[in-house]
């Protein structure tokens, strides 16, 4: 259904459409950066394409690829013609892309999010701030080289020693595992962390939760016999 | 109020008994501040809904100002961005105050083990009761509330986890799947 | 004359409030807003001159978290996107991966998905309408609608084992076949739910206060709505009959008769009414689906590369044990490629843009969050209105933090 759109774009823009592909019924065109905004505007205004609904705008990071690192991807849909298209433009790290805010109002937040998550700048955007994260955040989390567990707290954590947590939520809680170690992979070492050895920081939880809970209940029973007597009668009800 | 009449006695006697009276009164009139952020709020609604009816425990009245409330329910994930907000709300509450961590995310970060979330609110504020579950069932929430009440009554400030509840009758309620039928595949 | 009146009379003009813009910050923890969000308002008296809506307080790194597990392990995260109707997200994600792998779910499974999905949609609209009415001061409807939601939850719990976060979808089907009395259970609750909805409608729709608070409040025109990428009930309230279930039927939605309710001005009242009507249409779909749904047959594809083998086989045969082990430890591997698949979720078009590099871990999972875009248009809806209009506008947009901020 959407081949007509691709056809129409090819007719109109010729060389400026770098690539087009169709996979599982999704049509996609890759355009060069200079004509990107023009193509989108054409898609909206041309009566044959009539893309009136702004679908989505996002980016993908390909750090291992030769050439520009990021893809900015725009999804458009026509309500009336019932077709849709995906437009892709390649951007190198540090480069900026023309904004779409004057074509689709909805692009405003989408571009802000894209900037927030990938650090891609949009030329002419009226208000390019972070949107999901906070201003103090450094780096862009959806880049592949941003380690998933690097948190940047805004408040100081309390001293660990005065967190008297009980075992189910012990100090070493959580299951920090990453199947793909991107840092190592980008440095050219050790492509994939074996999931069965897994868990490259070590599986910290040994007992199953219920076992811990049982051990905990027993400990409670030993320590506070009075409180527990009531607790167990609750449970039996 | 036996305590009140008895409290005409010696001075030391008065204070201890009065303490107890106060605790007893606090226990049954908890004003809550629901700091609901995420999915757990659905079960918080559920607990307040007619079926589970948290009002039976005298803890139904939400105060939408932290200054007027006794219990802070932290319902849902606290992201790093929300940390300062949470801390400020806690500091605005007047003593005595209690904090309930509702759900796994509030207790330990849950499976959002990444750059965006705080691994448990106790990294930021002291917490009294943890209710595990993602989200906890309303029954567990009520258990947590009762646990808090017990703690208030005994004056115990140790953090406590709501223990799992074993309901033998539940086994009878399990539904059979039609995998048992000859026709049914997986 | 009282002294105060005297002062008032003589200094009347001095008591005028200053007219220059006043800055007011609402949120991030405001009692009348479900979800945490911050609004910075520039006010002239009661009138809103400008508003800066700041989402992001519930950013939990959904997209990053998806990149470190297997494809199957994304399901629990999708549950917590739009946590009012988790099954719809499960199905949306499952359909995306199935599109990538060209898997077709057996017909019974498709009906099962439709029925569970529509039940979830009913629960979604019940909650969002209830919350919206509570926020404008009508508490009773909330309690009634929550009562109805409990019935829906009872059925969902019997089917999936969980009340809210089901994680019931699987790539290539559902986790379990329907329970033996699935159809009776659903048929038993539908009339009760519809009756409650009717009661709520009788209570609210002729209510003058409710009308005044919502009619003509927070409106948006068709063209602007499309520009902003609004979808779902918010777009339909503005008069565009766009519903993915009709326009791009997925699963078996082309076999049902149902209507797409639309509004006129896109105001809070229209959004509220569209949701009420959609509950009825969902009930219609469920009734038809239950009629047509076969009573036996598989609900999941019979493909050992995709679905886990039966438990009793895992324990008795070595092939099944190995298959189980491989699937759990390495994950299942879709072919490399990228697809965008979209479904109609509670708040609008929920799209999943997934990229596979051929390994057992997703390369990228992007979700198109409908209420992110719905909320974006909020600024335009609010400017020119009064402070009091914020609550009904925001309430009927139905911003769900998990989905908006991910
Ligand atoms: S514990 Fe689970 S349900 Fe509760 S907020 Fe966290 S993810 Fe959501």
In this structure, the residue with its CA closest to atom 5 of ligand 1 is B76
Decide: B105 in ligand 1 pocket, CB within 6 A: yes
Q: How far is the CA of C318 from the centre of ligand 1 (A)?
A: 37
pLDDT in tens, A91-133: 888 888 888 888 888 888 888 888 888 888 888 888 888 888 8
Q: What is the CATH number of the domain that holds A69?
A: 3.30.460.80
Instruction: List the end-to-end C-alpha distance of chain B, in Å, as a whole number.
Output: 63
In terms of domains, do A153 and A196 share one?
A: no
At residue C6, the pLDDT reads 59
Closest residue in B to C81 (Cα) is B39
A52 to chain C, closest Cα gap in Å? 6
Which strand (E) or helix (H) includes residue C231?
none
C301 touches chain B (CB under 8 A): no
Token pair, residue C334, equals 């879709």
In terms of domains, do A64 and A154 share one?
A: yes
pLDDT in tens, A126-161: 888 888 888 888 888 888 888 777 777 777 776 654
> What is d(CA C378, CA C387) in angstroms, rounded to the nearest whole number?
13
> What is d(CA C236, CA C221) in angstroms, rounded to the nearest whole number?
11
B21 to chain C, closest Cα gap in Å? 32
Q: Are C133 and C214 in contact (CB under 8 A)?
A: no
At residue A172, the pLDDT reads 36
Complex ipTM value: 0.80
Q: Which of A139, A138, A149, A23 is nearest to A86 (CA)?
A: A23
| Domain chopping of chain C, boundaries | 4-51, 54-404
> What is d(CA A168, CA C349) in angstroms, rounded to the nearest whole number?
39
CB contact under 8 A, A26 and C340: yes
Question: Atom of ligand 1 at shortest distance to CA of C164?
Answer: 3
> What is d(CA C247, CA C231) in angstroms, rounded to the nearest whole number?
13
> What is d(CA C211, CA C215) in angstroms, rounded to the nearest whole number?
5
Domain boundary among A159, A174, A189: A174
> What is d(CA C63, CA C82) in angstroms, rounded to the nearest whole number?
14
Decide: B39 in ligand 1 pocket, CB within 6 A: yes
Q: How far is the CA of C160 from the centre of ligand 1 (A)?
A: 17
In terms of domains, do A151 and A237 share one?
A: no
In terms of domains, do A29 and A143 share one?
A: yes
> What is d(CA A31, CA A40) in angstroms, rounded to the nearest whole number?
10
> What is d(CA B85, CA B125) in angstroms, rounded to the nearest whole number?
11
At residue C401, the pLDDT reads 80
A109 touches chain C (CB under 8 A): yes
Q: How far is the CA of B77 from the centre of ligand 1 (A)?
A: 6
Sign of the CA dihedral C304, C310, C314, C316? negative
pLDDT in tens, A43-88: 888 887 888 888 888 888 888 788 888 888 988 888 888 888 888 8
Q: Are C349 and C112 in contact (CB under 8 A)?
A: no
How many residues comprise chain B?
186
Show the beta-strand stretches assigned E in A32-83.
53-61, 70-77
A129 touches chain C (CB under 8 A): no
Q: Are C113 and C251 in contact (CB under 8 A)?
A: yes
Q: How far is the CA of C375 from the centre of ligand 1 (A)?
A: 22
How many residues comprise chain A?
237
Q: Are C224 and C266 in contact (CB under 8 A)?
A: no
A96 to chain B, closest Cα gap in Å? 26
Decide: B120 in ligand 1 pocket, CB within 6 A: no
Question: Atom of ligand 1 at shortest distance to CA of B111?
Answer: 7
Asked if residue A178 has pLDDT above 50, the reply is: no
DSSP category for residue C27? -
Q: What angle do CA A90, A96, A101 make, to 5 degrees?
A: 100
> What is d(CA C94, CA C71) in angstroms, rounded to the nearest whole number?
10
Ligand 1 probe mutation, C62, C165, C401, C406, most atoms within 8 A of CB: C165
pLDDT in tens, B88-99: 888 888 888 888
Q: What is the CATH number of domain C54-404?
A: 1.10.645.10
In terms of domains, do A98 and A153 share one?
A: yes
In terms of domains, do A158 and A215 share one?
A: no
Token pair, residue A6, equals 């691709």
Q: Which of B24, B93, B23 is nearest to B63 (CA)?
A: B93
In this structure, the residue with its CA closest to atom 6 of ligand 1 is B105
Q: How many domains does chain A have?
A: 2
In terms of domains, do A198 and A95 share one?
A: no
> What is d(CA B23, CA B57) in angstroms, rounded to the nearest whole number?
15
* Mean pLDDT lowest among B13-17, B48-52, B135-139, C124-128: B13-17
Token pair, residue C360, equals 């057992």
Asked if residue B65 has pLDDT above 60, the reply is: yes
B155 touches chain A (CB under 8 A): no
User: Which of B36, B39, B50 should one mutate to test binding to chain C, selecting the residue with the greatest count of C CBs within 10 A?
Assistant: B39
**Residues paired with residue A123 on neighbouring β-strands, in sequence order:** A98
How does strand C173-174 pair with strand B98-102?
A: unpaired
Domain boundary among A174, A191, A214: A174
Contacts of A148 in chain B (CB under 8 A): 114-115
Residue B155's CB: how many other CB atoms inside 10 A? 10
Decide: B34 in ligand 1 pocket, CB within 6 A: no
What are φ and ψ of residue C118, in 5° steps? -70, -35
Ligand 1 probe mutation, B47, B77, B112, most atoms within 8 A of CB: B77
Q: What percent of chain A has pLDDT above 70?
A: 66
Q: Where are the alpha helices (DSSP H) in A14-84?
A: 36-45
pLDDT band of residue A162 (cuts 50, 70, 90) is: very low
Domain that holds residue A189: 177-237
In terms of domains, do A134 and A72 share one?
A: yes
Q: Which of B11, B1, B72, B5 is nearest to B37 (CA)?
A: B72
In terms of domains, do A119 and A234 share one?
A: no
Q: How far is the CA of B134 from the centre of ligand 1 (A)?
A: 5
> What is d(CA C28, CA C38) in angstroms, rounded to the nearest whole number?
4
What are φ and ψ of residue C34, in 5° steps? -80, 135
Q: How far is the CA of C406 from the centre of ligand 1 (A)?
A: 13
* DSSP notation for C151-202: HHHHHHHHHHS-SS----EETTEESSPPPTTHHHHHHHHHHHHHHHHHHHHH
Provide, for chain C, the percentages of residues in helix, strand and coil under a 3-state DSSP scheme, each rounded to the nearest 5: 50, 10, 35
Q: Give C 190-249 residues with CB within 8 A of chain B.
A: none
In terms of domains, do A119 and A66 share one?
A: yes
In terms of domains, do A138 and A221 share one?
A: no
Greater confidence, B77 or C309?
Answer: B77
pLDDT band of residue A224 (cuts 50, 70, 90) is: low
Residues 6+ apart with CB under 8 A from C104: C98, C301
Q: Are C91 and C351 in contact (CB under 8 A)?
A: no
To the question of pTM greater than 0.90 for the whole model, the response is: no
* Mean pLDDT lowest among A37-41, A162-166, B23-27, C340-344: A162-166
In this structure, the residue with its CA closest to atom 8 of ligand 1 is B39
Residue C198's CB: how many other CB atoms inside 10 A? 12
Decide: B135 in ligand 1 pocket, CB within 6 A: yes
What domains are defined for chain B? 14-180 (3.40.50.12280)
Option in C57, C76, C298 nearest B81 (CB): C57
| Residue pairs spanning B and C at CB distance below 8 A | 129
Residue A137's CB: how many other CB atoms inside 10 A? 18
Q: Which of A74, A64, A65, A92 is nearest to A29 (CA)?
A: A74
Decide: B99 in ligand 1 pocket, CB within 6 A: no
Q: How far is the CA of B76 from the centre of ligand 1 (A)?
A: 5
- Let me know if C232 is exposed, middle or buried by CB neighbors in 10 A (0-12, 13-18, 19+): buried
pLDDT in tens, B113-152: 778 888 778 778 888 888 888 888 888 888 888 888 888 8
In terms of domains, do A146 and A184 share one?
A: no
How does strand B71-75 pair with strand B98-102?
A: parallel
Mark the ranges of chain C whose per-residue pLDDT is less than 70: 1-19, 31-35
Q: Are C368 and A56 in contact (CB under 8 A)?
A: yes
Q: Which of B36, B10, B43 is nearest to B139 (CA)?
A: B43
Decide: B69 in ligand 1 pocket, CB within 6 A: no
């Amino acid at each position: 259904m959407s081949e007509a759109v691709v056809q129409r774009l090819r007719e109109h823009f010729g060389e400026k459409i770098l690539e087009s592909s169709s996979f599982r019924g999704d049509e996609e065109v890759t355009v060069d950066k200079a004509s990107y905004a023009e193509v989108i505007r054409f898609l909206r205004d041309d009566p044959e394409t009539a893309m009136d609904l702004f679908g989505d705008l996002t980016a993908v990071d390909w750090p291992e690829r030769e050439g520009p690192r990021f893809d900015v991807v725009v999804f458009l849909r026509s309500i009336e013609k019932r077709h849709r298209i995906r437009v892709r433009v390649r951007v190198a790290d540090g480069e900026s892309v023309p904004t779409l805010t004057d074509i689709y109002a909805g692009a405003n937040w989408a571009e802000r999010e894209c900037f927030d998550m990938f650090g891609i700048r949009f030329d002419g955007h009226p208000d390019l701030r972070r949107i999901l994260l906070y201003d103090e955040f450094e780096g862009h989390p959806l880049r592949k080289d941003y380690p998933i567990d690097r948190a940047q707290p805004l408040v100081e954590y309390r001293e660990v020693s005065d967190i008297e947590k009980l075992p189910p939520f012990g100090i070493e809680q959580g299951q920090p595992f990453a199947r793909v170690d991107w840092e190592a992979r980008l440095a050219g070492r050790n492509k994939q962390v074996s999931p069965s050895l897994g868990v490259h920081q070590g599986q910290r939880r040994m007992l199953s939760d219920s076992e811990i809970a049982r051990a905990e209940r027993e400990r409670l029973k030993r320590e506070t016999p009075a409180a527990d007597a009531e607790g167990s009668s609750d449970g039996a009800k | 109020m036996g305590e009140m009449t008895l409290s005409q006695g010696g001075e030391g006697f008065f204070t201890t008994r009065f303490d107890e009276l106060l605790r007893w009164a606090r226990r049954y009139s908890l004003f809550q501040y629901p700091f609901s952020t995420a999915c757990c709020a659905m079960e918080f609604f559920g607990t307040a809904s007619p079926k589970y009816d948290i009002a039976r425990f005298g803890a139904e009245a939400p105060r939408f100002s932290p200054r007027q409330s006794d219990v802070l329910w932290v319902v849902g994930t606290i992201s790093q961005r929300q940390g300062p907000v949470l801390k400020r709300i806690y500091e605005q509450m007047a003593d005595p105050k209690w904090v309930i961590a509702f759900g796994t995310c509030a207790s330990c970060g849950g499976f959002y083990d990444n750059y965006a979330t705080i691994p448990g609110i106790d990294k930021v504020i002291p917490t009294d009761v943890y209710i595990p579950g993602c989200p906890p069932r309303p029954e567990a929430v009520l258990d947590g509330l009762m646990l808090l009440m017990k703690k208030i009554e005994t004056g115990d400030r140790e953090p406590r986890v709501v223990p799992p509840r074993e309901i033998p009758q539940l086994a009878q309620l399990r539904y059979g799947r039609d995998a048992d039928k000859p026709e049914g595949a997986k | 004359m009282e002294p105060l009146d005297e002062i008032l009379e003589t200094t009347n003009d001095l008591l005028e409030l200053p007219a220059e813009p006043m800055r007011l910050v609402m949120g991030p923890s405001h009692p009348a807003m479900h979800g945490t969000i911050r609004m910075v308002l520039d006010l002239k008296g009661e009138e809103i001159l400008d508003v800066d809506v700041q989402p992001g307080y519930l950013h939990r790194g959904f997209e990053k978290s998806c990149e470190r597990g297997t494809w199957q392990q994304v399901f629990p995260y999708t549950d917590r996107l739009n946590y009012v109707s988790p099954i719809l997200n499960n199905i949306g994600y499952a359909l995306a991966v199935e599109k990538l792998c060209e898997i077709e779910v057996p017909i019974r499974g498709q009906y099962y998905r439709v029925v569970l999905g529509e039940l979830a949609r009913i629960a979604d609209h019940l909650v969002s309408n209830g919350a919206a009415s509570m926020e404008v001061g009508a508490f009773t409807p909330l309690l009634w609608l929550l009562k109805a939601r409990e019935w829906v939850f009872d059925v969902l719990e019997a089917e999936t084992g969980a009340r809210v976060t089901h994680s019931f979808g699987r790539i290539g089907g559902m986790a379990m076949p329907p329970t033996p009395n699935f159809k009776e259970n659903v048929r038993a609750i539908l009339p009760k739910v519809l009756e409650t909805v009717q009661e709520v409608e009788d209570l609210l729709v002729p209510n003058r206060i409710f009308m005044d608070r919502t009619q003509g409040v927070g409106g948006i025109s068709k063209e602007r709505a499309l520009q902003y990428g609004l979808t779902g009930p918010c777009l339909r309230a503005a008069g565009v009959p766009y519903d993915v279930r009709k326009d791009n039927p997925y699963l078996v939605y082309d076999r049902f008769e149902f209507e797409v309710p639309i509004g006129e001005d896109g105001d809070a009242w229209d959004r509220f009414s569209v949701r009420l009507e959609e509950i009825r249409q969902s009930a219609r779909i469920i009734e038809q689906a239950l009629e047509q749904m076969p009573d036996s047959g598989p609900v999941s594809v019979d493909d050992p590369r995709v679905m886990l083998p039966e438990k009793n086989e895992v324990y008795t045969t070595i092939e099944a044990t190995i298959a189980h082990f491989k699937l759990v430890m390495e994950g299942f591997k879709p072919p490399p490629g990228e697809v965008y698949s979209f479904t109609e979720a509670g708040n609008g078009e929920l799209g999943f843009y997934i990229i596979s590099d051929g390994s057992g871990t997703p390369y990228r999972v992007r979700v198109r969050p409908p209420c992110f875009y719905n909320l974006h248009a909020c600024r335009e809806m609010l400017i020119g209105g009064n402070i009091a209009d914020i609550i009904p506008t925001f309430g009927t947009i139905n911003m769900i933090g998990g989905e908006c901020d991910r």
